[in-house]
Structure 1
Amino acid sequence: MGLGTDDGVGRNRINVADGFGYFSINLPHQGQVTVNRSLDFERTQRYLVTIVASDRARNVSERFSTTTTLTVNVRDDDDQNPSFIYQGCMLHEGSCINPEYSTSVSSGKLAGILNIYPEKIQAVDMDSINAPIKYSFLSGTPSSYKDYFEIDEQTGAVRQKRAVDTSITKKFEIIVKAEEVSEQKRSATAKLFITVKPVDSNPPVINASATEGFADENAPVGTKVVDKNGNPIRLAVTDEDLVRMHI
């Protein structure tokens, strides 16, 4: 039975419950309070237990009793994995589900620290222990991803350390790991997508099958312009930044 709440907001909220059934005194003469049921800090952080003491007068109606309240605070254990956090992610019990990040780099250029969307990469310990988090790349495709990118172990910032060309790949998919710096070393993962965008750095080149063409007077609309040998003139436009295009 819930009795009350609130010494804080969000993860710092304290839920208080009636301790009946959760604790017992198996040896009344010793007065030792013991745990009777499994406790979950994430659900209830504090229990109020009513203790009744009575004498043993032969006549039950003549017995005297007194009560007191024992406050039992549940200490948090490291039983929750960390969670990546950003606004708008799908939540389940306060944790982001299947977190994904994205960014882009320009082909052939070195960007340095990357701007990550929807927010910078960040994870938190979901226990009140608040263990520090360290970040690393767990895996990725193509397998050469570590030649081009690295992640700061403490801040989660991603840095491009080498320029990449679209001829190598157009997209990297990297698994980011967030691990608690604790004895349990609990961890969580997220996906990071890095798109390699082509750069328009070369002018187009026009190649024509002939530079002089002929068309008859009163030729119907759609008649092809031909060279001196009567062959239709054909133009080809090439751009090193793009695929080959014909007109």
Structure 2
Amino acid sequence: MEIKLIGIQGMPLVERGDDIPELIVRALDFSGQELMDGDIIVIAETIVSKAEGNTIDLNKISPSEKALEMAEKTGKDPHLVEAILSESADVIRVGHNFIVSETRHGFVCANAGIDESNVSEGLATPLPADPDLSAERILRGLTERSGREIAVIISDTQGRPFRVGAVGVAVGVAGMAPLWDRKGERDLYGRRLQTTEIAVADEMAAAASMVMGQADEGVPAVIIRGYRWDHLKADGGIRDLLRPREMDVFR
């Protein structure tokens, strides 16, 4: 199997109201490329939130007493802390320069997924309000324009328990199931797999992150080509990847 990662070059800085499928198709046309059947398009969550007008003006936030206390403990801007609290369903851990919380979507991550990079000074972007719905809209727009059978993943960069560094993870998905349940299949020695489930959408997001970069690369969307995902053509959403709270051994 050969898998290609193709960064979509030439996309402009995204603003509120922009049509992301149209921007992607234009950028591909300009570079002489096109979508193919079986492509998986991974899109950075920041441009999705920006296009949807889902940004936070930190200067217009009035920090609460709780935010001020937490800012003192963490060393973070109290305006940012208040934004984190507003996007959180539960605060998990707080320490010097970090706040780990559970977002309203159910993601456990730093700063409730709020990102201050690749956005104008004083602004921040939370995760899309409904990442699966956002992915579905983008999928519909790309399918209408290309006529191709494709899938869409919206990705974010997050840290992991017990590991240093951040990797790309999926926060929204459309057109494919994000999880590959292989329980019952046999390994090389004929033993049946008992617990094996593969977070394919996360693997795709991590791979695409190598091309997107985290600074000024200017590649907010990546095509993954060559991975056969026929076995993933099933209904499902990003919640399939969220570990049930009663099985969460990290809290």
TM-score (norm 1): 0.24
Higher strand share: 1
TM-score (norm 2): 0.24
